[in-house]
Structure 1
Amino acid sequence: MHPDLTSYIQSLQNEASDITRERKSKLTKLADYIRTKKDSGQPARLTFICTHNSRRSHLCQIWSAVTADYLGLDQIETFSGGTEATAFNPRAVAAVERAGFNVENPGGKNPRYKVFFDEDKEPLICFSKTYDDSYNPRKNFAAVMTCTDADENCPVVPGAEIRFSIPYVDPKESDGTSREKQTYDQRCRQIAAEMYYLMSQV
């Protein structure tokens, strides 16, 4: 794993105390689902869903995959989607790069970013899509709602065998302000810390 990214993840280990009891309870229930799937010899597929699949859902997809890898957990597959497709927001991409990932941007209206975290492993592929896109699993997966709008507008996620609501405040609120970089870095770190906690409970 990239050294800067390793250092970033190691620094998350002391931040469990910053996670509220309510959020820990939600994350633990998701960890129980992952453990049950693994114990039965099945892959645990997690599809993180927000409205535009541009910020929070991608950050969750990335950090859940990488913290699982860091902790030596296998059979965990992570995906993301939205109620509509836009693009992986460049501000969120920049926050990921500042955390220690190497990101390759092929260009285009909705780039299929390659997010590298380890020289010896395949990159994560991140691009905006609807949650029911053919790139994502169609059945036997957990739908993890990362924003309240998507949670309210998707009362049913076809194919999902279970559903969890773990919403985050949209960093979009700071776009174009002097707080932009700080807000994106804070949301990136919050999600990283919670995904680390999640995987540490499996």
Structure 2
Amino acid sequence: MQIGVAETELFTIIPTLHTLLGNLVRRVLESEMKPDHRADEKHLNASTPRDLHRSPDTIRESYPERDNDVTTTRVQGPDCDRVEKVPHTRPVSLSIGSCVTIKGTPTLPFINDPQLQVDFHTETNEESDIAFHFRVYFGHCVIMNSRECGAWKCEVRCNNVPFEDGKSFDVRISVLANEYQVTVNGQQCYSFAHRLPPCSVKMVQVCRDISLTSVCVCN
């Protein structure tokens, strides 16, 4: 019997098709036997707290009630306020060992005679007596005084003005047993003997020509 050309080609192709079909079946079986990592990952995500995959800022947005516990004007320390406007006033309770730190920058060049004024009031209003009046005439002098029964007393004048034109400053007023001690940028510069008891101070006011960064009170 003679076999045609087409039949010969068919006999040649059949083994090849058989091999391809076997490979396909084997791959399907192997894929079914592999663990489903996607399913495991899905299960892991479902069982893991969602906050572990998120930044602190995102977590804070998810729990708005927590923001109520944080004041936007508050910086490190329970008695430190970030200040956005001048004049700035805040109630205080001072005693020996207390410290008031004021950070800011003059808003005008020294040629325009900017000033910084800090007052320790004995009541929570601007008309009250002032136990310590600290006033800086940038580039010129520093005046310290007190106001008692509505009248200014003898002022103390100092020509040492370690502030720099256009640069930020750090003024720290420490309450000592007999006096207020003032440091500027870490340098002890001024002292003012107590005329009224430090415990009588009820309010601190900061004003004049400055951009105020923060006012911190440490007791």
Which bin holds the TM-score, normalised by the shorter protein? under 0.3
Q: Which has the larger Rg?
A: 2
State the TM-score, normalizing by the size of structure 1: 0.26
Structure with bigger helix share is 1
State the TM-score, normalizing by the size of structure 2: 0.25
Structure with bigger strand share is 2
